[in-house]
Amino acid sequence: MWAQTYSSGQQFYREDRASRSIEACPPSAGSSIKFDVPDQQIGRIISAIELRPGWQEQILTIISVTDEVERVKRLGKPFLDGVVDEPDYRH
């Protein structure tokens, strides 16, 4: 769905492509629905999410490990491609 604001200032969500919609969804195939209905529903879903203690540290650890793996891959590629010789690679 995409957002649309009419010249009257009213805001709606709509989905113009029937191939991406389902019959039970009001904005499917060109009709629209006011912002407040799905926004309130999504707000309730987001508000219900409870994060465990320490979640932030866990995410930062995952990001750190992922960044380190990518850094090692970036360092290894020039060596494998023959652009960097072994002494420089090991350094």
Q: 81 by DSSP, 3-state: which?
A: coil
Of the candidates 41, 25, 24, the one whose C-alpha atom is nearest the C-alpha of residue 33 is 25
Q: State pTM to two decimals.
A: 0.44
Residue 22: its pLDDT value, please?
62
Q: Write the pLDDT tens digit of every residue in 3-41.
A: 888 889 889 887 766 666 566 665 555 677 888 888 999
Q: Are 65 and 59 in contact (CB under 8 A)?
A: no
Q: Write the pLDDT tens digit of every residue in 46-70.
A: 999 998 899 999 988 888 888 888 8
